[in-house]
Amino acid sequence: MDKVDVKDGVFSALEAGVPWTTPLSGCFDDVDTCVYGLWCLPCLFGQNAKQIDGTDCTTMCCLYSLLGCLGDASVCKLVRDVPIPDIQPREVLIRVHAAGINPVDTYIRSGTYSRRPTLPYIPGLDSSGVIERVGIDVTKFKAGDRVFTVNTVTGTYAEYCVARADFVFPLPPNVSYEQGSALGVPYFTAYRALIFK
């Protein structure tokens, strides 16, 4: 299957009807690193990560978070120096290595989804990464664990996100962060449709 170049941003591609299963490219000129489920934040808006502030994609993903309001893709903006969120006793703090991008993210942002976020907000429901901290009531995870998550407390289009421990799952060593970030909403949606008809 051919990849779709989405230099105008992945949200615009989804709104234009590009199938969500289509592989995407656009981060680097020389490496196909941006696939569905993994996007460096500058690339969400069609900016070449190698040209922003003279830094590369890896550095950029650590500096920025995505801040959204309700509306089309133009209401979102990249924000620097977003504070690391605090966690509650039953939550974990995850250093995000890859964030999933799902059609539901565009529904939430457009204001058509039944659950509306408190504005402004950081979009994204799915991610994979490494646990940095655990709440005092969390016993099944520890700092350093590789995990994937769905339905996070804070958005996943950031360097760090917070998730309730019961929505966090171990990421097996043979599953990449990119693959792990694409498990949450797609997998659990299919599971519910097949099992809980």
Residue 18 tokens, joined:
């590009």
Burial class (CB in 10 A: 0-12, 13-18, 19+), 152: buried
Strands 91-99 and 160-164: antiparallel
Residues 15 and 73 sit within 8 Å (Cβ to Cβ): yes
State the CATH architecture for 52-195: Alpha-Beta Complex (3.90)
Helix (H, G, I), strand (E, B) or coil at 131: strand
pTM of the model: 0.67
Give the tens place of pLDDT for each residue, 69-108: 677 777 777 777 778 889 999 999 999 999 998 888 888 8
What are the structural domain ranges in the chain? Answer: 52-195
Query: Could you report the per-residue pLDDT of 17-65, keeping only the tens digit for each?
Result: 554 444 333 333 332 333 333 334 444 444 433 333 344 433 333 334 5
- Tokens encoding 42: 């500058």
**How confident is the prediction for the chain on average, in pLDDT?**
73
Contact between 160 and 63 under an 8 Å Cβ cutoff? The reply is: no
The terminus-to-terminus CA distance of the chain in angstroms comes to 31
The model's pLDDT over 107-163, given as tens digits with 9 standing for 90+, comes to 888 888 888 777 778 888 999 999 999 999 999 999 999 999 988 999 898 899 999
DSSP one-letter code for 35: B
Burial (CB < 10 A; 0-12, 13-18, 19+), residue 59, is middle
* 3-class secondary-structure state, position 110: helix
